[in-house]
């Protein structure tokens, strides 16, 4: 059975954003990789990987190898919150979910900075500033 570009397109279109991003394109055929890239572009998802690197399995593997786990969480919501905090500080982060554990992943070069950021308690002033920036719905009444 020959798989066509349209078969790949239909398959990738049926996936969630997360599932689409979880695909390791280094092992895909050129046609599948091209359709994968088209679907990412159609959805406006920026992976941070150039087209040249996406077509080069060695480059993609090197990018993936640079990611390290800095914290494991029991709940995905906690990991997502931590990821959001890091991304707000312009530290790239991703969450890998498996049954019973969610791993917060960052590029190796950001590992120490990210861990320090997540483990340093905020002062009362910093907490108040963040609460003010987020807005308090009760204040509007």
Structure tokens at 108: 């190796």
Give the per-residue pLDDT at 33: 86
Contact 98, 64 (CB under 8 A): no
Residue 103's H or E segment, with its range, is: strand 101-107
Does residue 114 share a domain with residue 88? Answer: yes
Give the per-residue pLDDT at 11: 92
Give the per-residue pLDDT at 137: 53
Contact 44, 21 (CB under 8 A): no
C-alpha pair distances (Å), 105 with each of 3, 12, 23, 50, 67: 34, 24, 16, 20, 6
pLDDT digit string (tens) for 57-76? 554 554 555 788 999 999 99
Does residue 71 share a domain with residue 56? Answer: no
Give the per-residue pLDDT at 45: 84
Structure tokens at 24: 């390791």
pLDDT digit string (tens) for 27-66? 778 888 889 889 988 988 876 655 554 555 554 554 555 7
The reply to whether 88 falls in a domain is yes
The reply to whether 141 falls in a domain is no
Gap between the Cα atoms of 89 and 116, Å rounded: 12
Gap between the Cα atoms of 68 and 21, Å rounded: 17
Give the per-residue pLDDT at 138: 53
Does residue 76 share a domain with residue 42? Answer: no
Give the per-residue pLDDT at 128: 80
Q: Which domain covers residue 28, as residue numbers?
A: 5-63
Number of domains into which the chain is organized: 2
Give the per-residue pLDDT at 125: 85
Query: Phi then psi for 87, rounded to 5 degrees?
Result: -65, -35
pLDDT digit string (tens) for 80-137? 999 988 888 888 888 898 889 999 998 888 899 999 989 888 788 877 877 777 665 5
pTM (2 d.p.): 0.47
Give the per-residue pLDDT at 6: 92
Give the per-residue pLDDT at 47: 66
Gap between the Cα atoms of 98 and 70, Å rounded: 16
């Amino acid at each position: 059975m020959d798989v066509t570009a349209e078969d790949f397109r239909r398959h990738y279109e049926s996936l969630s954003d997360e599932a689409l991003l979880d695909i390791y394109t280094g092992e895909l055929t050129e046609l599948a990789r091209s359709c994968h890239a088209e679907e990412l572009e159609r959805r406006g998802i920026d992976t941070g990987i150039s087209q040249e690197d996406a077509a080069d399995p060695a480059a993609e593997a090197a990018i993936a190898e640079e990611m390290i786990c800095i914290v494991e969480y029991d709940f995905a919501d906690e990991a997502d919150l931590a990821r959001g905090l890091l991304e707000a500080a312009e530290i790239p982060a991703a969450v890998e979910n498996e049954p019973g554990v969610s791993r917060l992943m960052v590029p190796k070069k950001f590992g120490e900075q990210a861990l320090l950021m997540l483990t340093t308690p905020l002062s009362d002033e910093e907490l108040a500033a963040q609460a003010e920036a987020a807005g308090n719905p009760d204040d509007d009444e």
